[in-house]
Amino acid sequence: MIKHAIEARAQIGLLGLLHLHFKNNTIKVSAVLKLIQILALAALAAGCSTVDFDYPKPESSALSETQDTYLAKHFRGAGDSYPEDYAGFQTLSDGIEALSVRLALADLAEKSIDAQYYLLKKDVTGKAFVLSLLRAADRGVRVRLLLDDMFTGGYDAGLAGLDSHPNIEIRIFNPFASRSARFWDGITGFSRINRRMHNKSFTIDNQVTLIGGRNIADEYFGARKDAKFGDLDVLGIGPVVQDVSSMFDTYWKHERSAAINAFAKMPEDPAIELERLRKAFTQAEKEIMTTRYAAAVTESIITSAQGELGMFTWAPYQLAVDSPDKSISSKSATAASITTPLLESILAAKKEVLIISPYFVPGKSGVEALVKLQESGIAVTIITNSLAANNQIMVHGGYAPSRKPLLQAGIKIYEVRADATIAGSEIVAADDAKTTLHTKAFAVDRKEAFIGSFNFDPRSANINTELGVIIRSEKIATEIAVLIEEKAPAGAFEVFLNDDNKLRWRGLDNGVDVVLDKEPQSTQWQRFQAGFYRILPIDSQL
């Protein structure tokens, strides 16, 4: 999946020019010359920019002496009746609950917070999240925040301000060298910039951890009126927490994790920036607290804080994670890969494999592997986004050619509707808000399940770093399977081939079964874009 600014901007620019051409049948030469001018200036601005990856970074590791914290005491003894290699897990599919758990845990933190994210927006939920970290730091909690640099444009001053807090340290993974000419920096340094940290983890007092598919932005938590993402996180207690902490430390200390001072133009007085940010975010919080969404989150926070230990399912597990060396082209081929345990899990199936992936681009080898599974008697089902629901049309173009060979083999495919219901979005989201599947999970034989950040596409497999957990639990695997079975009829279109080997979509229209011969709920322009991307040789980047 292409989820970074270089290709996103290239996509917008290309489509804009195409749209202008088809609308007006001409593109003014002056506009092209202007574009060349802008690129030339960007090249000059980026030409002397570098990242000092050798810039000194303070030594720190996950805190081990946290047994006297509230969370340690709260969960003490929870796994005593299970083997030592079992951990406790609780899935979070509701957006409001997923946010409230994060805020509640930050409020309960006493010693440390380690947060690692691909995307942190400066919107309602982003501000609430940052405020929760800041307030924890004010109480004396050590906060380490590791962010990928793809979506931090314009954030340098605020990040420097946060970093100036005595209890907060921020590092940026694989930063752009030029802060003002990222587009050009991405072109000239593509082999490095193209590799992103897509991991998501949130660990409190080395006692509780939260990993999964959600970034920190309104659409993941039901707080946007125009977009709602269906996603899945998993809360973990027990030994899995130390595994995630060890993973975090490996990324935190990695050569691609840079201190703010190593690349950013620092404000004259970061402390002033910190107070400016605190004031602005606190004022925004006051305004937000009058909304129905805030009331729902507050109520959910209280429920989360009073959660019962019995809500956790104890099971053996395996943390699945890429080595951060994958972010370095020269080391990526030999770096430990998340694909190894994931493939082992799927290929061990005896009866059934259910795959949920918003950005599903299996490629030729992936199609062959899935077809082989199906032909061996294993029922394979794929759940992904429809064209109308997909927020990455380029990816849909890469996925579309795989449908026929998969269907011909007997594999079932369901594409999520753009108007599907998403738990936790009913408070804010308007009725016509676009739904996008963002869950990354699979279930094997209803006995083990994967939840994490990994998409079934070349980008997750070969370019970005990813994180997740394989849980060997019949209960959790069955929960995922049942969720699909219950939601698919009303929330997705089943793709099939008719007698003439043509793609068709079966779904409900006001409760009535219908069969469609075009990508459901899509516009002609969306179908044109997907078709255009389908012919481009870019599958390896999707």
* Active-site residue flag, 438: yes
Selected catalytic residue, list 198, 326, 396, 447: 198
* Active-site residue flag, 21: no
CA distance 122 to 100: 18
Selected catalytic residue, list 122, 127, 438, 487: 438
Torsion of CA 238, 244, 249, 254, to 10 degrees: 160
Within 328-420, strands assigned E span 352-356, 379-385, 412-416
In contact, 251 and 199? CB cutoff 8 Å:
yes
Question: What is the secondary structure of 184-226 as a DSSP string?
Answer: HHHHHTHHHHT--B---EEEETTTEEEEES--BSGGGTT--SS
Residue type, position 284, single letter? A
Bridge partners (DSSP) listed for residue 413:
382, 495
CA distance 162 to 143: 10
CA distance 284 to 287: 5
CA distance 324 to 57: 17
* Active-site residue flag, 200: yes
* Active-site residue flag, 205: yes
57 class by beta-carbon count within 10 Å (0-12 exposed, 13-18 middle, 19+ buried)? middle
What's the Rg (C-alpha) of the chain? 23
* Active-site residue flag, 228: no
CA distance 197 to 24: 41
Phi, psi of 125 (to 5 degrees): -70, -35
Selected catalytic residue, list 123, 249, 419, 445: 445
Bridge partners (DSSP) listed for residue 504:
496
Selected catalytic residue, list 111, 127, 440, 447: 440
DSSP label of 402: G
> ∠ CA(364), CA(367), CA(369), 5° rounding?
110
Selected catalytic residue, list 3, 200, 447, 487: 200
Q: Which ranges in 109-181 belong to alpha helices (H)?
A: 124-138, 156-163
Name the residue among 355, 356, 358 with its Cα closest to residue 374.
Answer: 355
CA distance 17 to 74: 58
Selected catalytic residue, list 94, 205, 218, 539: 205
Phi, psi of 40 (to 5 degrees): -65, -45
Q: The tokens of 99 are what?
A: 């946010």
> What separation, in Å, do the N-terminal and C-terminal C-alpha atoms of the chain show?
4
Bridge partners (DSSP) listed for residue 229:
436
Q: β-pairing, 227-230 with 441-444?
A: unpaired
* Active-site residue flag, 198: yes
Within 44-164, strands assigned E span 86-92, 112-117, 142-148
Would you report the helix, strand and coil content of the chain in percent, each value rounded to 5? Answer: 45, 20, 35
Which amino acids are annotated catalytic? 198, 200, 205, 438, 440, 445
